[in-house]
Amino acid sequence: MRLSGKVALIAGGASGIGAAEARIFAREGARVVVADIQEDIGKTVAQDIVQAGGEATFQRLDVRRADQWAEAVRATVQRYGKLDIMVNNAGANFRVSFDDQTEQMWDEVMAVNARGCFLGVKAVVPEMRRNGGGSIVLMSSIAGAKGHVGGPAYACSKAAVAILARCAARSYAPDKVRVNAIQHGSTDTPFLRGTRSYSLNTPETDISLPDNYRRRAEASPQNRVASPEEIAYGALFLASDEASFVTGSLLVMDGGALA
C-alpha cells in the first residue's frame, strides 16, 4: 500500500508499461485514471483493476491536445477529489532511417513525445499545487542519451523529455511537485514488438517487425529485454513518498545497455 490514499493519472495507460503501472499502482492503494487514445483496451485495463478489487476509471486522452489534458485533469478531480500523481507513457515513433524520416514524421513524433509531456506537466501542476504537492513521472528512453538510427525524431524527442523533466523539477520544487524521468531500455511491449502502429493517427495499423524483439534482446548485456512490470516498479518508486527527496532525476533502467 505504498500509494494508499493517492490518486494517479496514467497517460498511455492502455497497454505496455502504462498498463503495468495502472495495475501495480492500484494494487499499491492508488485510485487510478487510465488515460489513453486507445479506448477499448484502456477501458479493459480499468475494468480489470476494478474486478481485482481496486479503483479505476478510463478517460480518453490524446496527449497532443491541451484541451484533452485539461478535461482529463478535471474528470480526475471530479471523480476522486484530487490529483497526486501523473505518469506519461504515451509515445510515437516511425522506424525509418535518417534519410527516410520526413517532416511529417518528425512533427508527429515530437508532438506526441515532447509536446505531450510539456502539455501534461502544464495541465497537472495547478491541481497538484492546490493539493500541496505531487509527483510527475515522464517516460524518456536511453535512445535520448545516445545515437539512434531507428528514427532520429524518437531519440531527439526523448532527449527533450529528459531535459523537460529537469526544467520542470527546478520550476516546481517550491510547490512540492517532484518531476522525474525514466530512461528505460528495450521493454517487451506492443511498442517494441511492432504489433501496433507507432503513429497515433493510424492506431489500427499492424507494422509487425518479428526480428525487432530478438535483435533488442541480443543487444542487451543481460541478453533479454525488460518486462513492463520491471519498468513500472521504477515509476512506482518515483511516484511514492519514498522518493520524497528525488526530483530532477533521470532513472536509467536499461539492463546495462548504456554501460
Helix, strand, or coil (residue 180): strand
- Contact 148/95 with Cβ under 8 angstroms? no
**Catalytic entry in 80, 154, 172, 198:** 154
| Active-site residue flag, 198 | no
Q: CB within 8 A of 209, min separation 6: which ones?
A: 95, 193, 194
Find, among 44, 92, 96, the residue nearest to 190 by Cα. 92
Stated as kind and residue range, the H or E segment containing 46 is helix 39-51
What gap in Å lies between CA 225 and CA 180, rounded to an integer? 23
Determine how many CB atoms are found less than 10 A away from the CB of residue 147: 7
Say how many Å lie between the first and final Cα of the chain, rounded: 34
Handedness of CA 187, 2, 47, 202 (dihedral sign): negative
Active site amino acids:
154
